[in-house]
Amino acid sequence: MDKADFIAALRVAQDAGCQFVIGVPSLGGSSTAALTPEQAHRLTTDKEGLFAELMGLTVPEYIEWRESQGSVYCSARTKQGKRCRNFIVGATWLEPDEWKAQRAEGGYCSAHGA
Ligand SMILES: [Zn+2]
């Protein structure tokens, strides 16, 4: 079945009242999101990209967000010039919007905080 047929078939189901939802892997479980027929097709070709988009993140952001459990790394650098690998105090389990805002703003861990 090609893409156009797949989407057309889902449209028929949608017109008949069917809704498509997916559990997007997120912090400690999954977040339910509604899908269009086009997005349902993308699930079969670019799942990670679709998940990132549904969460309002780019793919690298989505991976980092999940791997860090919604935490943001400290903005300080170690004496060796490496990025501090501790998390900003209080910046854990953040939802994507908050996570992006905190990441843009920066902050410090308990060792580097004022
Ligand atoms: Zn630090």
For residues 15 and 35, state if they share a domain.
yes
For residues 36 and 13, state if they share a domain.
yes
Count the domains in the chain. Answer: 2
- Residue-level pLDDT at 1: 83
For residues 55 and 95, state if they share a domain.
no
- Residue-level pLDDT at 41: 97
- Residue-level pLDDT at 74: 96
Taking only the tens place, the pLDDT of each residue in 65-84 is 999 999 999 999 988 999 99
Q: Which residues of the chain have pLDDT under 50?
A: none
For residues 7 and 52, state if they share a domain.
yes
For residues 59 and 79, state if they share a domain.
no
For residues 20 and 42, state if they share a domain.
yes
Calculate how far, in angstroms, residue 111's C-alpha sits from the geometric centre of ligand 1: 6
Nearest C-alpha neighbor of 76 from the set 31, 32, 107, 50: 107
Structural domain boundaries, residue 38: 3-67
For residues 59 and 94, state if they share a domain.
no
| Cβ 94 vs Cβ 70: under 8 Å | yes
Report the amino acid identity of residue 15.
Answer: D
For residues 104 and 60, state if they share a domain.
no
Calculate how far, in angstroms, residue 60's C-alpha sits from the geometric centre of ligand 1: 22
| Cβ 65 vs Cβ 87: under 8 Å | no
For residues 21 and 56, state if they share a domain.
yes
Tokens 């992006």 correspond to 100
Calculate how far, in angstroms, residue 95's C-alpha sits from the geometric centre of ligand 1: 22
For residues 27 and 9, state if they share a domain.
yes
Domain boundary among 67, 82, 97: 67
